Each structure stands twice: as C-alpha cells, then as structure tokens.
C-alpha cells in the first residue's frame, strides 16, 4: 500500500446526500475527502426522481471519474457514494460499492462501512435456500435479508434484517424515495449528519467530508439508530434500543483524518493528548522529537511539548508517491523504500532522537525506520508508541483478522525493541489512551465508550463466525 508505510487498512468510507443540486459532484467531493479510508475502489449511485444509476470502478476517486462524463451522467438530486480499501492483487470490481440492485420493478442501492461477524453463516443459509450473491463481500447480506423478509413494509423489513446481522456496520441505503441510514448497536464506526445551506441533509463517515461540501454539522448517528431522510425531512427511529457505545479506538489513533471530529472530539487534539500522556508515562532523555509522517505528527508534537524538547521534521514523506511508481528489482529494493519516507540527515545527525509512532501493527517498517535514522547519523533512537500494544485482531471493519500478523501478540516489548534496534521502546497505557481520547469524561459514561479489544482482547460483542478463529489463533 503506497499511502502509508503501515499496512493497516480501514475498510471504507461512505457519503450520502438527499435533495441537493449537483448531488453527483457533492458526493465526489465528499468521497475525495474520505479517500484516506479506502483507495481500492470508489463508486456513486444517484437517484434521479426515483431512477437509480451507478458508476464505480477500481482506483482512487479522481481516477474512477477521470473521464468526467461518467460523473456527470449520474443525474439527480440525491446520491450515496463509497470508497473501498486497497488490497494487493484483488482487482474485483464486483466488490466496489455502492451495490446497486435492479429488481424487475424496484431499485435499491447500498453502501457499507464495517464488517459483519455472522455474515458467513447467514450467507451459507441464504445460499442453501437458493440465494445467489453478486459480490464476495459481506455487505450484500443485508439486501438478501430485506428481500426475504415477510414484513409488510420496507422499514420493518430493514429492522428485522438489522436485528439478524451482527458486527460493525454503518449502512447507507438508497431507495427510490429515501436515503436510509443505520448504525450498529455498538456504534463501532463513525457516521455524522450535516446540513447544506439550503437545508439538504448529508451524511458521511467523517466530519471532514461535511466540511468538504460546506455542510454544517448537525449530529452524529447513534448506536442502534435507523434514520430516514426523504423529501419530508429527516426522521430518527431505532432498529434496536439495546445499545452500548464501543467506538473504535483505532479511528482516533490512526484511521480518521486529523481535521475530523469523532463523537465531538477532534482527532488531531486527541492524538496530541496521546503524545502528551505518553511523555508523562515514558519520558526519556533526548535532543529532538520526531514523528512518523503523516499519522504520527500530532502525537509527536504533543510529546515534544510535554517534554519540552524541539519537535523536528526528522522524517519526510514524498508527496508524489503513487500507484504508477515503478517497483525496483530485488537488488534495488532498499532504494525504493527510501522513496516513500526519507530521514532528514541535517536534522537527526548526532542527535538523540525520540521517535513517536502512533501504533505498531506488523512491525515491518519500524525496524526499517530506526535503521534509516541511524544511517542518517542519529546517536540514539528511542521509540515511543502513542497507543498500547496492538495484540488482537479486529472483526468490525479493519482488515487485520489474524493474531499471527500482529507482532505484539507474540513478542515481548524487549524482543520488539531488539528487533527494531531501538535504544528504548515504550507504549502508551490503555488508561493513557482512554484519557487522551476523553470520551467517557466528555459524555460521563460508565466505561470508556471505546472498543479497546485491539489492546486487551475484550470484544464488546460475541464474535459469532470468528469466535473459534480467535481461540485457535491464540
């Protein structure tokens, strides 16, 4: 993956708008600002007076619509869009969303951010009763359940179906006359509603997309909510009232864009507090503080301020790195990695560097970055990680589903330190992370309000299809 040096991918971003001119272009802008949530593919479905039409393809938003005709052919005043994460080797356009379903006498489109934990079981059951799936993703299960439901109206069908699926989901559904929004009962994934100047509603995975279309923030979607937006306005309903907030902590640590507010909390500020707390928990003597660009820069500046050391640009990222970049032959491999990220010799030479990274997942780039700093003349490299040890896989929307891929799950801190050749290595405590985010404080919650299972293995819900896997993998 070329965008970040870390192989940790969000599954998706979603955007929707109802009743606004240029719905196609607004959705394009919205998706563009959510591009960090997925670079594999993108698509838009618009609704032109009850007729749904779609365009989607593999690539970045700007590449998918590099021929403008494909965007402007999507007429109508309402739309939903989706960006999908990037994996190597998979170029299946079938999985690019939104999925548009053409029934003989109806149309229905769906965009999903998250991951269902009982999709495998449900899919198998549905197939046994004759259902055929068009994509290999789990997102389509909901549509089949709705189609199969015996309830008399669509909202009841949807409610029944949502009560059947398990896991993390932020769903946007476009019908001929409404935009329907649903969030899982734990609110794992972010989803916010805004309003354009003319009063039209927009919905997006992150508030940065509301800003991108100049929409005013209205409210976050809450766990268990089922919201219908149509020409009569917005109606907030619930598909379940058994809810318990367990918002994905990694959205704060790594995924979300720094300018987004998640549940009212600014991401950059939270990250900066993670850096501050980390400095208080694990101070160290050094000359300069350096962050791994781009995701760790906020935490690094927080660390630097707290410990009163200069915050320096000791690593620099090439902003022109793209998919077309020619990968070198094996012998030239090392030179290529240097193209994404470079150590700034003039800054780190002869310095004791405190290197702040937001998290360690596979650990493959950590060793490389430390070496790069040492080659550039750093006298010492102290690694400080602005989140706890990432030991447990995620089943609610991030593509890490194996413990074996997580270095912290099978190495001690000291083993990792040696592997990375760092002079010291420390991780932010769970308490430090919870405090930095400040959700429980902010909302006066009985607990953290966060899904911290990455760090402690305590999953907020039963894992269904993945329950055995977690056991086995341990």
Under the binding rule (CB under 8 A), the answer on residue 368 touching a copy of itself is no
Of 28-36, 378-386, 398-406, 466-474, which part binds a copy of itself (CB under 8 A)?
A: 28-36
Footprint (CB under 8 A) of a copy of itself, residues 29-88: 29, 32-33, 35-36, 39, 55, 57, 60-63, 65-66, 68, 70-71
Return the residues of window 331-360 that contact a copy of itself according to CB under 8 A.
332, 334-336, 338-339, 342-347
Neighbouring CB atoms inside 10 A of 408's CB total 24
Fill in the DSSP letter of residue 393.
Answer: -
Query: Do residues 113 and 12 touch, judged by C-beta distance below 8 A?
Result: yes
- Which residues are within 8 A (CB) of 144 and not within 5 positions of it... i.e. 6 or more apart? 126, 131, 133
Is residue 374 a contact point for a copy of itself (CB under 8 A)?
no
Binding mask 112-131 for a copy of itself (x = CB under 8 A): --------x--xx-xx-xxx
Distances in Å between the alpha carbon of 89 and those of 40, 196, 363, 401?
11, 39, 22, 18
Residue 464 falls in which region: left (phi positive, over 0), alpha (psi -120 to 50) or beta? left
| Per-residue mark of binding to a copy of itself, 214-253 (x: CB under 8 A) | x---------------------------------------
Footprint (CB under 8 A) of a copy of itself, residues 288-327:
294, 297-298, 301, 305, 310-313, 316, 318-320, 322, 324-326
The verdict on whether residue 295 carries a ligand-binding annotation is yes
Examine the residue annotation and report whether 394 is marked as an active-site residue of this protein: no
230: preceding bond cis by omega (within 30 degrees): no
Q: Where are the beta strands (DSSP E) in 329-423?
A: 341-343, 352-357, 380-385
* Interface segment toward a copy of itself; rule CB under 8 A; list 101-109, 220-228, 408-416, 455-463: 101-109
Taking CA atoms, 104 is separated from 40, 108, 274, 292, 331, in Å, by 31, 11, 53, 52, 57
Cα–Cα distance for residue pair 366/420, rounded to 1 Å? 6
Q: Which is nearer to a copy of itself, 214 or 412 (CB)?
A: 214
Asked whether residue 357 is marked as a ligand-binding residue, the answer is yes
Closest to a copy of itself by CB, 202 or 408: 202
The torsion defined by the Cα of 468, 469, 473 and 474, in degrees rounded to 10, comes to -40
The span from the CA of 256 to the CA of 260, in Å, is 7
Total chain residues near a copy of itself (CB under 8 A): 95
67 annotated as belonging to a binding site for a ligand: no
Examine residue 268 and tell whether it contacts a copy of itself (CB under 8 A).
yes
Site for a copy of itself in 146-175 (CB under 8 A): 147-148
Residue from 49, 50, 51, 91 binding a copy of itself (CB under 8 A): 91
* Rg of the chain on CA atoms, in Å: 23
Binding region: 295, 357-358
Binding region for Mg(2+): 295, 357-358
Which residues are tagged catalytic? 12
């Amino acid at each position: 993956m070329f965008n970040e040096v870390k192989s940790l991918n969000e599954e998706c971003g979603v955007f929707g708008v109802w009743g606004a001119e240029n719905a196609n272009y607004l959705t394009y802008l919205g998706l563009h600002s959510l591009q960090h949530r997925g670079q594999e593919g993108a698509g838009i479905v618009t609704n032109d007076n009850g007729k749904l039409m779609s365009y989607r393809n593999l690539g970045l938003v700007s590449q998918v619509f590099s021929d403008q005709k494909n965007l402007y052919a999507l007429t109508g005043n309402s739309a939903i869009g989706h960006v999908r994460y990037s994996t190597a080797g998979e170029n299946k356009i079938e999985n690019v969303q939104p999925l548009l379903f053409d029934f003989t006498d109806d149309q229905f489109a769906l965009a999903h951010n998250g991951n269902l934990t009982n999709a495998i079981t449900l899919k198998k059951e549905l197939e046994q009763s004759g259902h055929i799936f068009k994509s290999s993703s789990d997102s389509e299960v909901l549509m089949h359940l709705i189609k199969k439901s015996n309830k008399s109206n669509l909202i009841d069908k949807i409610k029944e179906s949502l009560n059947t699926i398990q896991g993390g989901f932020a769903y946007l559904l476009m019908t001929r006359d409404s935009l329907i929004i649903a969030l899982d009962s734990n609110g794992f994934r972010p989803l916010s509603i805004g309003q354009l100047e003319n009063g039209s509603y927009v919905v997006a995975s992150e508030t940065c997309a509301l800003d991108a279309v100049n929409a005013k923030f209205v409210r976050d979607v809450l766990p268990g909510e089922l919201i219908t937006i149509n020409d009569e306005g917005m109606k907030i309903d619930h598909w379940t009232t058994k809810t318990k907030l367990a918002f994905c902590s990694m959205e704060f640590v790594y995924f979300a864009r720094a300018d987004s507010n998640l549940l009212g909390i600014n991401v950059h500020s939270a990250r900066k507090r993670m850096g501050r707390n980390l400095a208080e928990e694990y101070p160290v003597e050094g000359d300069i503080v350096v962050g791994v660009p781009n995701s760790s820069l906020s935490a690094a500046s927080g660390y630097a301020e707290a410990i009163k050391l200069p915050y320096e640009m000791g690593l620099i990222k090439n902003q022109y790195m793209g998919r077309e970049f020619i990968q070198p032959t094996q012998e030239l491999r090392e030179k290529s990695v240097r193209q994404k990220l470079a150590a700034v010799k003039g800054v780190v030479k002869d310095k004791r560097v405190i290197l702040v990274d937001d998290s360690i997942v596979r650990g493959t780039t950590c060793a490389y970055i430390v070496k790069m700093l040492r080659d550039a003349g750093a006298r010492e490299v102290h690694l400080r990680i602005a989140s706890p040890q990432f030991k447990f896989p995620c089943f609610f929307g991030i593509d890490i589903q194996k413990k074996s891929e997580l270095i912290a799950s099978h190495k001690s801190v000291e083993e990792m330190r040696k592997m990375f050749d760092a002079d010291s290595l420390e991780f932010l405590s769970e308490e430090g992370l919870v405090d930095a985010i400040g959700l429980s404080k902010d909302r006066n919650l009985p607990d953290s309000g966060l899904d911290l299972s990455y760090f402690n293995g305590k999953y907020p819900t039963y894992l269904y299809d993945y329950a055995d896997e977690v056991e086995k993998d341990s």
